């Protein structure tokens, strides 16, 4: 909030991943498409509960769905995980840079 200007849509993304049931549903969908009832049976939750989780995943663009007859088919959109991996990679690079600077600093202390 106000502190970091750069932010594609990381908040809905990480929020969606911050729940074990949703991660489990996403993992299931990575294996292939599934209907709401199928996901409900796997998770043991009631249909509306599952639909709510799927709505959160949809907001994060991690899944999409289409109606087919009376069923709705959900499938994963794994490419939309990349903002998360990118941000994490960026943080790792920042950290490694700091390590390098620290090592360089240690090197300057060698001859003291």
Among 8, 46, 55, 95, indicate the residue that binds its own copies (CB under 8 A): 95
Among 46, 88, 100, 104, indicate the residue that binds its own copies (CB under 8 A): 88
Contacts of 83 (CB under 8 A, 6+ apart): 8, 9, 10, 13
80: which DSSP letter? G
Three-state SS for 105? helix
CB of 37 to its own copies, least distance (A): 15
9: which DSSP letter? S
Among 26, 53, 62, 76, indicate the residue that binds DNA (CB under 7 A): 53
Q: Would you state the structure tokens that stand for residue 101, as one six-digit string?
A: 């600077």
Kindly list the residues in this chain that would bind its own copies in the complex (CB under 8 A): 1-4, 7, 10-11, 13-15, 17-21, 23-28, 30-32, 42-44, 76, 78, 81, 84-85, 87-89, 91-92, 94-95, 98
């Amino acid at each position: 909030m106000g502190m970091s200007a750069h932010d594609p849509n990381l908040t809905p993304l990480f929020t969606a991943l911050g729940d074990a049931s949703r991660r489990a549903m996403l993992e299931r969908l990575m294996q292939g498409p599934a209907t709401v009832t199928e996901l409900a049976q796997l998770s043991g939750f009631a249909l509306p509960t599952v639909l709510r989780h799927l709505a959160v995943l949809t907001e994060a663009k991690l899944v999409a769905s289409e109606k087919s007859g009376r069923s709705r088919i959900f499938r994963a959109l794994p490419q939309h995980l990349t903002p998360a991996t990118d941000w994490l990679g960026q943080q790792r690079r920042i950290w490694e840079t700091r390590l390098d600077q620290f090592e360089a600093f240690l090197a300057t202390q060698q001859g003291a």
